[in-house]
Amino acid sequence: MTDVVLSTDDLTVLSGPETIELLVDIGPTGTRGSKFFVGLGNPNLDETLDPILNDIYVNSSPGADYGYLYQYVSEPGGDTWIEVLNINPAIYSKIHTVNFVAGCDASAGSGSIVIPITDITSVTGLESDNFSIQYSIINSTPVASSVSSVAVSGTDLVIDIEASEYDGSWGPLSAETSVHLFVSVVL
């Protein structure tokens, strides 16, 4: 390679290019972004889909996997759909009418709520510890209450609540009243 030495400090440009070509086309088509599919059942069993990596699928078929969101990912052994999120979590919310009856010790009234587990979730084999219970008793006077027990009895969830009301003094809640109930499944 030859070294070039410029001995002058001035540079003169005599003319520019005759034409300048500027292309403003959008260019070639690239890989599409994530596509959302909705179908019935497990997407790994649906041969009509033409997914690419990172596509999303929502199972709208009633049953144990209803409401699951799947993503198409690359795994050892080949590309596959995997469960990512349950967009329909097992939540039960309802207003129950409960008849509270004074107990023999007269310190609190007792009431029970019985809910078929299938109204809450389709998951089987759950125990009482798998249910989170939140509630509010509607009453015209202040109420102090607690859940005394949560049990699975056959196919039902049984929630027992004890409550006292304040009407000048504390006594057992002994009335039919509304209980706002919220139950979620904890695995």
Buried b or exposed e, range 70-107, using 16+ CB within 10 angstroms: bbbeeeeeeeebeeeeeeeebebeeebebebebeeeee
Mean pLDDT, the chain, as a whole number? 88
Closest-CA residue to 95 (of 176, 180, 183): 180
Give the Cα separation of 150 and 20 in Å (integer). Answer: 80
Q: What is the pLDDT of residues 38-92, one digit of tens each?
A: 999 899 998 888 899 999 999 888 766 778 899 999 999 999 999 998 887 778 9
Residue 45, token pair as written in the block: 């069993």
pLDDT band at residue 175 under the 50/70/90 scheme:
very high
| Percent of the chain residues past pLDDT 70, beyond the cut | 91
Nearest-5° angle of CA 71, CA 73, CA 77? 135
pLDDT at 115 over 90: yes
- Going from N- to C-terminal start, the domains of the chain cover 36-86, 91-185
Name residue 144's beta-bridge partners: 164
pLDDT at 126 over 70: yes
What average pLDDT does this structure show over 16-44? 80
The pTM is what? 0.60
pLDDT band at residue 122 under the 50/70/90 scheme:
confident
Q: What is the pLDDT of residues 160-170, one digit of tens each?
A: 999 999 999 99
Q: What is the pLDDT of residues 141-151, one digit of tens each?
A: 999 999 999 99
Give the Cα separation of 70 and 164 in Å (integer). Answer: 48
Tokens 């209980």 appear where? 179
Give the Cα separation of 25 and 38 in Å (integer). Answer: 34
